[in-house]
Amino acid sequence: MFQLDTYKYFKGERFGGIFEGRRPVLYILDPELIKAITIRDSDHFCDRAILPTNEPKYINRSILHLRGAEWKVVRSLVRPAFSSARLKNMFPLIQQCTSQLVGFLDKYNNSDVEIKDVMVHLTLEITGVCAFGISTDSLRDENAEFKKVAMDFNKMSVPKRMLIFSILLFAPILLKYMNVSFFNYEANKKLVSILRKTRAERVSTGTRRNDFLQLLIDASVTEEEDIVNTKTERHLDDDTVDAQALIFLIAGFETTSTLLSFAIYQMAIQPEIQNKLRDHIMEITKGEELSYDHLVQLDYLDAFVSETLRMYPPVARIDRKCTKPYTLPGSSVHLQVNDFVAIPAYGIHMDPEIYPEPEKFKPERFTREGKNEVPSHLFLAFGAGPRNCIGARFAMVIAKATIVTLVRNYKFSMCSKTEVPITFHKKAFLLTAENGVWVRVEKI
């Protein structure tokens, strides 16, 4: 993987630079510099390193794309959707979906399964129900249309890929004048159409639900009322609401299904860990139905999920753009506004000086005793600092609830298609297994 190779190439240095086309990128490797950029001096790096493009507003107005003060305002409006109280209220809906998963997976008893595809069915349904109050039918229909559309969100033809690469290489400034998207335009247009229809029905009928979409609607209405009185700037207009809804859907289903598929893969290739996890869950829950309060007590499960994220971080590199002139501490390197820095998360997670024997899957690293050995800013599965992943807690709740349901009902083992180690897809934006994640499923 390129990020790991780059990290190894610069190993021993505090930082190093490469060119991506004509754009210089400064790689940050030193733990103290990583802490400075992501946390201590994060006000100098509050923007993600996203190139400006002339994409539709329902893409470039997302919380990933927004910059500076506007990003802070929108994030503060969206953050309450992930509070403990709201997650606890959503938990019964998550449980209903994981129960449906059992019926869906029973069809594959004693079969070899590409488990990432199955997990996509689950995470799409959970995201649809919990965030938007809509069922995607993904756990009832193997060929659900919503699932087909969602899976195409980042598919890109070879000619388009070559066009974007050429522009990035020779004239990246042209991107902001061209109607070129890094996402699949047609797929995202269909998804936004469904979300807009759902929102319009809510508003016209006065229907209310305790979900992410309702929070966006309420925040938009409140902001609009405040503007009348204070003459302040509008942030949550219709395009921005659509953008948050779309990115929540895409990021929610894709990254969480990836996490779950790799977690199941590790259970399959290491049955002793699977058994330990099953015994741990039985000991804590005593066979009772899983509750939200149980999640706090399931220490080994939390460590297991964290170790999965260490070995398989959804995003292999964290990018930031300099927003105020900055001098790297302890050096003469001066960064100017719009300079790009990169933190190779996958390289750090696989560094034996930070995580001993990094190629081995060891949940004990993240037990209460083990957590003290590695600084929190060097666990980068969800980023670090103020611009970290806002949906991290939601993803962890889904992952834990799903794993509990799975280990109570199934045994996972290796099959003839199981790769050890897994080959990663070199061209995928997110960490993806090139040949799928195959396991054998047996009902217990």
Exposed/middle/buried for residue 24 (C-beta within 10 Å: 0-12, 13-18, 19+): exposed
What CA–CA distance (Å, rounded) separates 207 from 145? 25
Bridge partners of residue 25, in order along the sequence:
18, 340
Overall average pLDDT of the 160-165 stretch: 65
Does pLDDT of 304 surpass 70? yes
Percentage of the chain beyond pLDDT 90 is 66
Does pLDDT of 233 surpass 90? no
Q: What is the pLDDT of residue 21?
A: 78
Q: Where is pLDDT greater, at 191 or 13?
A: 13
- Contacts of residue 262, defined as CB under 8 A and 6 or more positions apart, other chains included, come to 308, 311, 312, 422, 437
Question: What predicted TM-score, i.e. pTM, was given to this entire model?
Answer: 0.91
Describe the strand order of the beta sheet including 410-413 as a list of residue ranges. 111-114, 438-443, 410-413
DSSP symbol at 211: S
Q: What is the pLDDT of residue 182?
A: 62
For residue 183, name the pLDDT band (cuts at 50, 70, 90).
low
In a 3-state reduction of DSSP, which class is residue 190? helix
Q: Where is pLDDT greater, at 60 or 41?
A: 41
- Each residue's pLDDT tens digit, 78-136: 998 899 999 999 999 999 999 999 999 999 999 999 999 999 999 999 999 998 989 99
Does pLDDT of 260 surpass 90? yes
Does pLDDT of 137 surpass 80? yes
Task: Write out 278-334 in H/E/C secondary structure.
Answer: HHHHHHHHCCCCCCHHHHHHCHHHHHHHHHHHHHCCCCCCEEEECCCCEECCCCCCE
Under 8 Å between Cβ of 366 and 307: yes
Q: What is the pLDDT of residue 168?
A: 63
What value does the CA radius of gyration of the chain take, rounded to a whole number of Å?
Answer: 22
For residue 250, name the pLDDT band (cuts at 50, 70, 90).
confident
Of 109-113, 136-140, 161-165, which one has max mean pLDDT?
109-113
- The answer to whether the annotation marks 389 as part of a ligand binding site is yes
Q: What is the pLDDT of residue 431?
A: 84
Under 8 Å between Cβ of 47 and 321: yes
Q: What is the pLDDT of residue 280?
A: 97
Percentage of the chain beyond pLDDT 70 is 91
Exposed/middle/buried for residue 232 (C-beta within 10 Å: 0-12, 13-18, 19+): exposed
Does pLDDT of 1 surpass 90? no
Q: Where is pLDDT greater, at 232 or 284?
A: 284
Does pLDDT of 44 surpass 90? yes
Does pLDDT of 420 surpass 90? yes
Does pLDDT of 54 surpass 80? no
Q: What is the pLDDT of residue 170?
A: 67
For residue 58, name the pLDDT band (cuts at 50, 70, 90).
confident
For residue 307, name the pLDDT band (cuts at 50, 70, 90).
very high
For residue 227, name the pLDDT band (cuts at 50, 70, 90).
confident
CATH class of 2-443: mainly alpha
Under 8 Å between Cβ of 67 and 387: no
Q: State CA 21 to chain mean position distance.
A: 27
- Each residue's pLDDT tens digit, 262-293: 999 999 999 999 999 999 999 999 989 999 99
Amino acid identity, residue 251?
Answer: A
Q: Where is pLDDT greater, at 169 or 85?
A: 85
Overall average pLDDT of the 171-199 stretch: 77
Of 70-74, 136-140, 406-410, which one has max mean pLDDT?
406-410
Q: What is the pLDDT of residue 225?
A: 82
- Each residue's pLDDT tens digit, 367-405: 987 666 788 899 999 999 999 999 999 999 999 999 999
